[in-house]
Amino acid sequence: MTTMPDSWSESDSELYQDIAAVAVPARAEQMAALLTLLPFKPDETFRVVELGCGEGLLAQTLLACFAGAELVALDGSAVMRERAAERLTTFGPRVRIEPFDLASTAWLPHLQGADGVISSLCLHHLNAEEKQALFGAIQERLSPWGVFLIADLIEPQRPEARTLFAATWDRITKAQSLAQTGSTASFERFIQTEWNHYRFPDPVDQPSPLFDQLTWLKAAGFAVVDCFWLKAGHAIYGGYKSRSGSTGTLSFTVALQAAQIQNSTKPYNKPAGNRKS
Ligand SMILES: C[S@@+](CC[C@H](N)C(=O)[O-])C[C@H]1O[C@@H](n2cnc3c(N)ncnc32)[C@H](O)[C@@H]1O
């Protein structure tokens, strides 16, 4: 079993795949929000780079919704890349899956001239300085109409907010466990594996405050920066290089339907893992 430097292990990859449908708040809605925010028409030609693609659910939904899109999907986990390759094989040359180490700069050439950079639940593995450097590197390399969209944990700035994030994450996970499986077993696994960062902080997880990240995005040169969605400490935020918006982009309803279909396909039989053991 391999381990990425100082952070995510392959047993984390296995466990995450097992619990993500229940443990990620409103996962399909988050995916749909990310795709709805892309400033491209469904038939337009554009190129996106995904940082930390995991098993490829967001990539699959993006490629299904945008017939002219090409995507480079990067992930440090061989297990995740293998799952993503199985899931995305149907898209042929429209998708490339490559290894990367988020904290290095060796992969930055993938970003050159890209129209979009997206990332879900990955960038909190960087510290504050590394995030700032990455935001600048992305802004410099994106095309003039480019967009950088992040879905990630954010760091609360007050203990009251931490308490709220912790409680609302537990609550939504329990509700999703019951709704998806008719049982609380998945929720109990979420508790037992200490997945709730706001109750069980882990040094490999280094979310930064949302306000700081919006400030860094602005300082990096993005014309429009904002937070677009937030639930239980999980936020969707980012920056657009251009101030002018696009019309005829993907509808949220279509994106949500596509995301729900991809989320309901669980073709793999994965062994149980325990992140904290
Ligand atoms: C929580 S998972 C999220 C996966 C997917 N984006 C999603 O939202 O379902 C984090 C992903 O980031 C990858 N990752 C974490 N740290 C990394 C690093 N330092 N370098 C490269 N990939 C990393 C992991 O392999 C994993 O696939």
pLDDT band with cut points at 50, 70 and 90 for residue 152: very high
Mean pLDDT value of segment 194-206:
96
Ligand 1 centroid to residue 244 C-alpha, Å: 32
Ligand 1 centroid to residue 193 C-alpha, Å: 18
Residue nearest to atom 8 of ligand 1 (CA): 120
- Please report the pLDDT score of residue 17 as a whole number: 95
21 φ, ψ (degrees, to nearest 5): -60, -30
Residue 150 is encoded by which pair of tokens?
């992040």
Query: Residue 51: CB partners within 8 Å, gap ≥ 6?
Result: 74, 100, 102, 117, 118, 119, 122, 123
Ligand 1 centroid to residue 80 C-alpha, Å: 8
Residue nearest to atom 1 of ligand 1 (CA): 121
- Is the pLDDT reported for residue 269 higher than 70? no
The three-state secondary structure class of 150 is: strand
Mean pLDDT value of segment 132-161:
98
Mean per-residue pLDDT of the chain: 93
**Ligand 1 pocket by Cβ (under 6 Å):** 4, 7-8, 13, 16, 20, 52-54, 57, 75-77, 80, 100-103, 120-122, 125
Ligand 1 centroid to residue 248 C-alpha, Å: 31
- Is the pLDDT reported for residue 267 higher than 80? no
Q: What is the rounded CA–CA span in Å between residue 10 and residue 3? A: 6
204 C-beta neighbours (distance < 10 Å), count: 13
Atom of ligand 1 nearest to the CA of 75: 22
The residue whose CB lies within 8 Å of the most ligand 1 atoms, and thus the one to mutate among 4, 7, 8, is 8
pLDDT digits (tens, 9 = 90+) for 233-244: 999 999 999 999
Rounded to two decimals, the pTM is 0.94
- Please report the pLDDT score of residue 264 as a whole number: 80
The three-state secondary structure class of 165 is: helix
- Is the pLDDT reported for residue 272 higher than 50? no
Query: Residue 259: CB partners within 8 Å, gap ≥ 6?
Result: 27, 28, 29, 31, 32, 35, 57, 61
Class of the CATH-defined domain 10-158+204-264: alpha beta
- Is the pLDDT reported for residue 268 higher than 70? no
- Is the pLDDT reported for residue 116 higher than 90? yes
Residue 218 is encoded by which pair of tokens?
């602005």
- The 3-class secondary structure across 51-68, one letter per residue, is ECCCCCHHHHHHHHHCCC
Q: What is the rounded CA–CA span in Å between residue 147 and residue 167? A: 32
